[in-house]
Amino acid sequence: MTKNNTTANAITNTNTNITNITDTNTTIIDTNTNTNTTITQPPVLESGGDIVQRPSNAVAADSILYPWFIQLLGCCSLFVLTRFNCPIPYAAIMFIWGAIFGIIASTNEEDAIYEDAADSDNRNYIQDSITAWINIDSATLLLVFLPGLIFKDAVEIPINLFQVAIVQIWILSFPMVLVGTAITGVVAMYCLPYESNDPDVYGIWSWLTLGAILASTDPIAVSSVLKTAGASPRLVMHISGESLLNDGSSYVFFTIAANKWYQDLGLTPNVTYDTAWEWTGYFFQMSLGGSLMGMVFGFGLLGVLWELDRRMEKDFDIVQVVMGLTAAYLCYYVCDQMLTMSGVVATVALGVVVNRFGRGMINDEGLMSSYLALADFLLNTLLFALGGTIWGAASFSEYRSARITSTDIGWLLVFYILCFVIRFIQVGLFYPIISRIGLKSNWKEGVFLAYGGLHGSVGVALGL
């Protein structure tokens, strides 16, 4: 038994695991067996702890309930949207569903701590499952969602047009993202009224972190509409190609800005550099190093696909699909967790290599496309719902006391409009160059490129 600021007393009939929760200076007795547990005082959520306190008798198996309940809601929502031709984005609907779950989880938190901990036979299973996902580790979250989403986009992009437009796409994805990150950060710093409230927290690096998050665009919604409307392949390539590469660049800029922000807050960052040259070297290590490592994984996967290229043996078709996704997740993990390189950039490079050289080695491209589409749907559905859930829980996490006011909502709308203005400035600055090289462009496509810069799955994942 451990005593800190709060003492939790328990009477157990079986083996008991004692877990110290350092963020709340509270000791809780947690059991996975039939146990009579009495908590004399509920733990208090301190700043920096879990968003929602998890009941002491929750078990790991509860985690499986939330994602599949979300998939059920996603299927029902998509059916309704399609059946009645509702002009509402599917991702927005899932975010709203998630926000509802998050608010429910946070407002039921106090009751869950008292009731569920006292009676292991009367648990709120969905509450426990939501809470487990709300408190997911950030590195685990990125590792679960990003590799599958990015690999699909990279493998399915029209590679011939991509090669012709590569210089245009690089300009849209690196210099333009850097400019957009800087402008967004400065505008947010001087327009939003939060720095004056807490200048130690809301410094320039916090706003540059926000700018990097908002720099990532999403091709899914725009590209699907353009293809349905019969838009020019050039415009579709500019939008989808920019999104593919700026996923990597925004992640690199986000990592640098976030680590500098952690240093300013006195926290322990993942990397620590002091000079601009060291940070420049870190940038090239993340971007170029990630690209090279992704190519290594890509050519390794080509060897596996070539060995499995036996069209008379149908069992190998599914093995090829599994090996593709396996390579994507392993590539991301090795680069991001072991080599201090960008897992996002590496996964993009892996997918492009397979797209360029491995098409003829895939036995059943329809099967590969179908499985990647399935993975994309499952991951996007869960990601946007989880984003809404965490937002809802964070907004109402102080025991039914809302932390986001109507004033914050008003500033959010103002900043949303400013993001459109910033996007048009970005495209306008680089339009004289991109309109004269590669696939070229015209002013109408430039306007649509600026207006169609929607933010999607990678931005949501980085925000979480």
For residues 57 and 30, the answer to whether their CB atoms sit within 8 Å is yes
- The pLDDT of residue 108 is 64
What is the DSSP track for 108-175?
THHHHHHHHHH-TTS--HHHHHHHHHHT--HHHHHHHHHHHHHHHHHHHS-HHHHHHTHHHHHHHHTH
Q: What is the mean pLDDT of residues 408-415?
A: 89
- The pLDDT of residue 9 is 43
Token pair for 91: 């991702």
Least confident range of 206-210, 269-273, 334-338, 391-395: 269-273
Burial per residue of 374-384, b for 16 or more beta-carbon CB atoms within 10 angstroms, e otherwise: ebbebbbbbbb
Q: What is the mean pLDDT of residues 5-21?
A: 40
0.85 exceeded by pTM? no
Domains of the chain by range and CATH?
10-134 (no CATH), 138-386+404-463 (1.20.1530)
Phi-psi region of 441 (alpha: psi -120 to 50; beta: other; left: phi over 0): beta
Q: How confident is the model at residue 391 (pLDDT cuts 50, 70, 90)?
A: confident
Per DSSP, the three-state class of 16 is: coil
pLDDT > 70? residue 126: yes
At 49-99, the pLDDT tens digits run 555 555 544 567 778 899 999 999 999 999 999 999 888 888 889 999 999
- The pLDDT of residue 278 is 82
- Alpha-carbon distance of 331 to 337, in angstroms, equals 10
Mean pLDDT of the chain: 79
At 348-387, the pLDDT tens digits run 999 999 999 998 889 888 999 999 999 989 998 999 999 8
At 268-296, the pLDDT tens digits run 777 777 777 888 888 888 989 999 999 99
- Alpha-carbon distance of 205 to 258, in angstroms, equals 7
At 15-46, the pLDDT tens digits run 444 334 334 444 333 444 444 443 333 333 34
Burial per residue of 318-332, b for 16 or more beta-carbon CB atoms within 10 angstroms, e otherwise: eebbebbbebbbebb
In terms of pLDDT, which residue wins out, 116 or 334?
A: 334
Q: What is the mean pLDDT of residues 173-178?
A: 90
Q: 136, exposed or middle or buried, with CB in 10 Å at 0-12, 13-18, 19+?
A: middle
Q: How confident is the model at residue 122 (pLDDT cuts 50, 70, 90)?
A: low
